[in-house]
Chains A and B, each alone.
Chain A
Amino acid sequence: MATFNEVGPGKPVTESSRVDKLTPRSRFSHGMRAIIVIVIAIVILIPIFVMVNTAFKTRPEVVSVPPKVIYTPTLEGFVLLLTERAIASPATLEQLKAAAAEGELGLFDRIALESGQEITGPSQYVTRLRNSVIIAGLSTIASVVLAVFAGYAFSRYQVKGKNDLLFFILSTRFLPAVVVTVPLFLMYTQLELHDTHIGMILLYTVFNLSLAVWLMKGFFDEIPTEYEEAALVDGYSRLQAFFRIVLPQAATGVAATAVFCLIFAWNEYAFALMLTSEVARTAPPSIPTMLGRGGIEWTAIAAGSLGFLIPVVIVVFLLRNYLLRGVTFGAVRK
């Protein structure tokens, strides 16, 4: 069993950490602060709550006043979102009904059937979600890989004009995206990168790289050089030492950087709207296009937003510990 000697605070504490017994008065203000925080949290969460509910309501339920709090969840919105449908001819209708009775019909087909429709194929939303995954995923990988090497070099080597270079890299972030979209649009059209996956991947990679390099440099700075030097003396080359010693220790940094890049690329709207149309269009600009077409498809929009949110939520949840460290990194450095 480890004694306190081994695990306890090894360094003397030099700052005050007075933990007062709470007087009734400070206990009250403590409570007040907690209530305020909870209220703010609720206000912020309301839209998400409404969105989730809307996704599972039927169209009439969505627009009913007062809003329905208790309802039977339905996947109608998701069917609208994910499929192309047509009004079924009476003959097909009969067929489908028969199939449904025998339990041979899929869930979505059954829901479509309730409003007399048949599913003719997947909707564009599916393609766009897939585009989002491809573009965001690949650009994230590319940015992180490049940033790992660039950050390591900036951290360890005497690069000429290092500070200027670092500032230049960061300065690419100063311009708002909207300002550069038009020139980019013209350039991409000329280069035939408009509406291509590779074009979007390149764009997001370049855009993410500045932040990623800075983050990775910070993480590498925190790893003492003694580790690599020990490996050098032990008989390893610089590159081997990097992969076997440094990179495993920078894993948290890599994960945090990846999440930051992924979130940007996943959520990006302005570039995607201007630079893609059919082939490479990602999910964010496509969701609003569901407005129209004979009324606003609120349930489909909500379902689309929800579907769009879920992948990021999962990734962030899996990496939440790294992310927290990523957010707070630098705060405790000298």
Chain B
Amino acid sequence: MSNLQLQNVTKEFPGVTALKDVTFDVQDGEFFVLLGPTGAGKTTTLRVIAGLTKQDEGSILLDDEPVDEFPPAERDVALVFQQYSLYPTMSVYDNLAFPLRSPMRNLPEDEIKTKVEDTAEILRIGHLIDRKTAHLSGGEMQRVSIGRAIVRDPRIFLMDEPLSNLDFKLREALRVELQHLQKTQGSTTLFVTHDQIEALTMADRIAVLNRGQIIQIGTPEDIYDRPATTFVAQLVGTPRINLMKSQRENSTLQIEKSDLHLPMPPDCGVPEEILLGIRPEDIDIEPGGNFSGQVALTEPLGVETVVHVRSGEQTLVSLIPGLVNYRKGDNVKFNIHSERLHCFELDGNRVQED
């Protein structure tokens, strides 16, 4: 396996800048996730790395060597697409063998057979080997796609939302399998997704991308606990983070249009007015709570319940364990974990801790 570096990669399409000065590196054996909404430039990044799209500026390095001039075939990267990448006219076996039969490799058939069978074993698709791909279910197809990437032992795996077309239960299962596979094989993987749960659960490190620019790079904990901007804060975590304008009043923080006065969090020092972020799980509804409000709505999700609590004109979303059923209008007391508050400038950037 190899490492990968992107240096100041810029790509423009007529009328839009798809990537602007994108720089990051993926370490040998790392599971690196590019997270961003639709149109952020994630797929373009993958295509540039694979050589399917040529960047305007900047450089791609594999194992510290520029590969900018190499055609896709010579870069030796494997690409798993969201869909459509299995060749419908071939059997599963031929699909898996296809990369090995390429003129770049041209392995003897018996060696191909061994490799294909080993891969099928790892992915538990051995029983499907003679089927036509048209007769596979979505999950099986995506397993075969992953198999086609694994079989040739590439320098790096590039995965373009490989799970997003699967139904939820399958996605959950494949997510775990993929993570296990990557960790046990030690493969370098660059995984693109718009799904924050996929990013948090699988990544060693995450790069958050928006409108062609990298917003933040960090471990899942970094991204979740110390989001660099309100954009990142809202992108990760479900239900979404509560974000409210707040003013400084002496040593307390007053949340606009509400009755809530919080003790001033230590690292929200300088500005008079900030955007305050509170994660739903940091609001605990408990009888002895310091704050009070009325229940606007409850959404029992199973393992936990989302409670919308009104205070003044603000509605706070709280996530509490277990299934509880409040009625609309119930008065509740709650606490806010003040040590886990997030403070942002009004322009969205995190207030710098010093």
Asked if chains A and B are in direct contact (CB within 8 A), the reply is yes
Q: Give the B-binding residues of A (Cβ under 8 A).
A: 2, 5-6, 224, 226-227, 229-237, 240, 245, 248-249
Q: How far is the CA of A232 from the CA of B295 in the complex (A)?
A: 57
Scoring B residues 64 to 81 as 1 if CB is less than 8 Å from chain A, else 0, what string do you get? 000000011101111101
Q: How far is the CA of A233 from the CA of B98 in the complex (A)?
A: 11
Task: Please tell me which one of the listed residues B77, B87, B103, B135 contacts residue A233 in the complex, with CB atoms under 8 A apart.
Answer: B77
Task: Please tell me which one of the listed residues A224, A229, A240, A248 contacts residue B103 in the complex, with CB atoms under 8 A apart.
Answer: A240
Residues of B within 8 A of A231 (CB): 87, 98
Residues of B within 8 A of A224 (CB): 84
Knowing A229-B52, A234-B102, A235-B73, say if A245 contacts B87 (CB, 8 Å). Answer: yes
Knowing A6-B137, A229-B52, A229-B79, say if A234 contacts B98 (CB, 8 Å). Answer: yes
Q: How far is the CA of A91 from the CA of B104 in the complex (A)?
A: 78
A227, B87: Cβ atoms closer than 8 Å: yes
Within the complex, the shortest CB–CB distance from A7 to chain B, in Å, comes to 9
Q: How far is the CA of A240 from the CA of B99 in the complex (A)?
A: 12
A234, B148: Cβ atoms closer than 8 Å: yes
Within the complex, the shortest CB–CB distance from B344 to chain A, in Å, comes to 39
Within the complex, the shortest CB–CB distance from B56 to chain A, in Å, comes to 16
Does B27 belong to the interface (CB within 8 Å)?
no
Q: Of residues A5, A227, A240, A248, which shows the largest number of chain B Cβ atoms within 10 Å of its Cβ? A: A227
Q: List 23 A-B contacts (CB under 8 A).
A: A226-B83, A227-B87, A229-B50, A229-B52, A229-B79, A229-B81, A230-B79, A230-B81, A231-B98, A233-B51, A233-B72, A233-B73, A233-B77, A233-B79, A234-B99, A234-B102, A234-B148, A235-B103, A235-B152, A237-B103, A240-B103, A248-B89, A249-B89
Knowing A233-B50, A233-B73, A249-B89, say if A226 contacts B81 (CB, 8 Å). Answer: yes
Give 10 closest A-B pairs by Cβ, nearest first.
A235-B102, A235-B104, A234-B99, A248-B89, A232-B72, A230-B85, A226-B84, A224-B84, A233-B79, A235-B73
Does B105 belong to the interface (CB within 8 Å)?
yes
Q: How far is the CA of A233 from the CA of B135 in the complex (A)?
A: 25
Q: What DSSP secondary structure best describes chain A's contact surface?
A: helix
Q: How far is the CA of A215 from the CA of B85 in the complex (A)?
A: 24
Among residues of B, the one whose C-beta sits closest to the C-beta of A2 is B135
B73, A237: Cβ atoms closer than 8 Å: yes
Among residues of A, the one whose C-beta sits closest to the C-beta of B151 is A234
Q: Of residues B77, B78, B85, which shows the largest number of chain A Cβ atoms within 10 Å of its Cβ? A: B85
Q: How far is the CA of A231 from the CA of B81 in the complex (A)?
A: 12
Knowing A232-B52, A236-B103, say if A226 contacts B87 (CB, 8 Å). Answer: no
Residues of A within 8 A of B78 (CB): 233-234
Residues of A within 8 A of B105 (CB): 235
Q: How far is the CA of A2 from the CA of B104 in the complex (A)?
A: 38
Does B88 belong to the interface (CB within 8 Å)?
yes
Within the complex, the shortest CB–CB distance from A210 to chain B, in Å, comes to 29
Among residues of B, the one whose C-beta sits closest to the C-beta of A238 is B71
Within the complex, the shortest CB–CB distance from A160 to chain B, in Å, comes to 14
Within the complex, the shortest CB–CB distance from A313 to chain B, in Å, comes to 29
Q: How far is the CA of A234 from the CA of B78 in the complex (A)?
A: 7
Residues of B within 8 A of A236 (CB): 73, 102-104
A233, B89: Cβ atoms closer than 8 Å: no
Within the complex, the shortest CB–CB distance from A204 to chain B, in Å, comes to 31
Q: How far is the CA of A230 from the CA of B87 in the complex (A)?
A: 9
Residues of A within 8 A of B73 (CB): 232-237
Within the complex, the shortest CB–CB distance from A81 to chain B, in Å, comes to 44
Residues of B within 8 A of A230 (CB): 79, 81, 85, 87, 148
Among residues of A, the one whose C-beta sits closest to the C-beta of B74 is A235
Within the complex, the shortest CB–CB distance from A303 to chain B, in Å, comes to 43
